[in-house]
Amino acid sequence: MLVDINGGSGVDTVGFAGLRADYNITTGAGGYAVLPKSGAIGGLKLLSNIERFKFSDSTVNVEYDSVVQALYVAYFGRAADHAGMQSFQDQLAKLGAPRDIAGISAAYNTNPGLHKLIDSFSASAESDALYPDGTGAFVEAVFKNVLGRSPAEAGLAFWSEAIDSGALSRANAAMSIMSGALQNLTPQGLLDAQRIGNTLAVASDFTLAIDRPSEIAGYGTTLAASMVRTMLATVTAGSDVEAFHAVIKTMLAVMSGELHTTLDAPESPDAPPLLLVGVAPAAWEGGLA
């Protein structure tokens, strides 16, 4: 029997019989669906305002899922990795941070701990490797990550000057571009917000699909990061998010070494490594064929 649950305010937990890997967790309109992989009848088709899903072997925390994905997509153009998602959610919870990107952006200048956490993106080795070509190239990349297009000349100049003058860190600029886009109520702004929502949903579905050690390790390679960036770049305002579930399943099978296939090579095989917290580099070999 499929049921819906709305947890309301506070931090709520719903328990499930069985292992985490026995279930698929996906985003949906206003919440998450948690359904058995076996196809058996049962599960929860819509969990709204539920922050934790407890299984017999682990607990999945989604309290700050959308915030963390927004930060990763805006800055790195990719979905959060398993360990990065856990680490950032834990730190945001300890800081009592807002649960939406607009609130995070507003609190950045008044919460020293949050300020430091956000700026850790700029200080990462992944950032140095991904953006070696100056401020303009960075702003261009963030606009493509968030909006799927290059900035207008005036916008490029504005954000570049703000970063170069020290008024904004790169991480704060990326977050501000994402937050500003979501609050733009013009016709184009509403289309942009729909694209962003779809992109974050696909990113969330990707990270939530990582539920085994081989997949966690598999998403720790430069090629895996490029594959996910390429996938997210194809999302549009009109995309069917559910259509990406099969793509995600195949990608994780390739990354974990369970499926050997021929895929188009990423545009940049020298893309920087992922910033993983507490996860050793994967032993996955670079070739996909």
Single-letter residue type at 208: L
Please give the angle made by the CA atoms of 68, 74 and 80, to the nearest 5 degrees: 40
Single-letter residue type at 251: M
Separation between Cα atoms, residue 259 and residue 129, nearest integer Å: 29
Percent composition of the chain: helix, strand, coil (DSSP 3-state, to 5): 50, 10, 40
What pLDDT score does 264 carry?
A: 46
Give the start-to-end residue ranges of the domains of the chain. 1-62, 65-75+98-192
Coil/strand/helix, residue 14: strand
pLDDT interval class at 231 (50, 70, 90): very high
What pLDDT score does 97 carry?
A: 95
Is residue 57 within 8 A of residue 67, CB to CB? The reply is no
Phi first, then psi, for residue 269 (nearest 5°) are -65, -15
In this predicted model, what pLDDT tens digit does every residue of 76-98 receive, in sequence order?
999 999 999 999 999 999 999 99
Burial class (CB in 10 A: 0-12, 13-18, 19+), 14: middle
pLDDT interval class at 10 (50, 70, 90): confident
Alpha-helical runs (H) found in 97-221 = 101-107, 112-119, 125-130, 135-147, 153-164, 170-182, 187-209, 213-218
Q: Residue 104 to residues 101, 185, 273: CA-CA distances in angstroms? A: 5, 20, 26
Chain centre to alpha carbon of residue 92 = 15
Separation between Cα atoms, residue 149 and residue 151, nearest integer Å: 7
Q: Residue 213 to residues 35, 74, 119, 207: CA-CA distances in angstroms? A: 21, 27, 29, 13
- 13 pLDDT higher than 70: yes
- 17 pLDDT higher than 60: yes
Separation between Cα atoms, residue 138 and residue 169, nearest integer Å: 12
Separation between Cα atoms, residue 269 and residue 249, nearest integer Å: 22
pLDDT interval class at 41 (50, 70, 90): low
pLDDT interval class at 9 (50, 70, 90): confident
Mean pLDDT for the stretch of residues 131-148: 94
